[in-house]
Amino acid sequence: MKKAVVLYSGGLDSTTCMAIARDQGFEPYALSFSYGQRHTVELEKARQYAPLIGAQDHMVVDIDLRKMGGSALTDDIEVPKQGVQADEIPVTYVPARNTIFLSFALGWAEVLGAADIYIGVNALDYSGYPDCRPEFIQAFEQLANLATKAGVEGQPYHIHAPLIDLTKAEIITQGMSLGVDYGLTHSCYDPTAEGLSCGQCDSCRLRLKGFADAGLQDPVPYAPVS
């Protein structure tokens, strides 16, 4: 089996992405980041679930994006609860986050001798986040082949974004068909101290709508509406 590095947050998208990598014949090496995010519970879920869904190894890299700030996820900016605005970049955007994440994935891939990297960005993300768009993924793939010893020596990298054209409902349906247990994923940006999802942040709203559109019940527990 060929190795692939899978960017893996423990959330719905990256967990599905991991299952797809596996289904496509890769041995997944899961890569997570402790980057000063508010929702560290997602890392606990990631640690717990990675081996269960077949990750060969799981690396958690510590990087302190809080030093930089600039986002509701890493700075003292309130996470909005008013729902998604279609035509603006949300305050939960973290400057250069996916560029940083893919850079580490590239480094690890080179060390592992892997030529494939999976990232679970999708259409709903790239309506808001610039670093989730197809043209960003393509530009990173070009960069990867110029940046590395492996690329220079003729082992081209492939950045896979298998969810990029899928709706949340389609992602969930595909994940279910591959046996993903969504009860062991976490999406909320602003969970309670007990780890219950808030049900009101952008991420929860998108997730809940995805399950509703797919005609399914979301198995994760939500905090009672106050």
Size of the site for its own copies (CB under 8 A): 43
Angle (deg, nearest 10), helices 168-177 and 202-213: 60
Contact 160, 116 (CB under 8 A): yes
For its own copies, which is the closer residue by CB, 49 or 140? 140
Residue 38 lies near its own copies (rule: CB under 8 A): no
Residue with tokens 């940083």: 100
Nearest partner of 204 among 34, 215, 192, 164, judged by Cα: 192
Contact pick of 56, 95, 169, 176 for its own copies (by CB under 8 A): 95
Q: How many CA atoms lie within 13 A of 53 on its CB side?
A: 36
CB of 153 vs its own copies, minimal distance in Å:
8
CB of 192 vs its own copies, minimal distance in Å:
29
For its own copies, which is the closer residue by CB, 125 or 218? 125
Nearest partner of 150 among 116, 173, 176, judged by Cα: 116
Rounded to an integer, what distance in angstroms lies between the CA atom of residue 14 and that of residue 165? 15
Using CB under 8 A as the binding rule, the residues of this chain from 148 to 177 that contact its own copies are 148-149, 151-152
Residue 146 lies near its own copies (rule: CB under 8 A): yes
Determine the 3-state secondary structure of 178 from DSSP. coil
Choose the stretch contacting its own copies; rule: CB under 8 A; options: 12-20, 38-46, 98-106, 206-214.
Answer: 98-106
Q: Compute CA 193 distance to the chain's CA centroid, rounded to the nearest angstrom.
A: 22
Contact pick of 131, 190, 202, 218 for its own copies (by CB under 8 A): 131
Q: Which class for 57: exposed (0-12), middle (13-18), buried (19 or more C-beta within 10 A)?
A: middle
Residue 77 lies near its own copies (rule: CB under 8 A): no
For its own copies, which is the closer residue by CB, 155 or 167? 155
Query: Residue 108 corresponds to which tokens in the numbers above?
Result: 């690890």
CB of 108 vs its own copies, minimal distance in Å:
5
Q: Which residues bind its own copies (CB under 8 A)?
A: 59, 61-65, 67-70, 89, 93-100, 102-104, 106-108, 110-111, 130-131, 133, 135-136, 139-140, 142-144, 146-149, 151-152
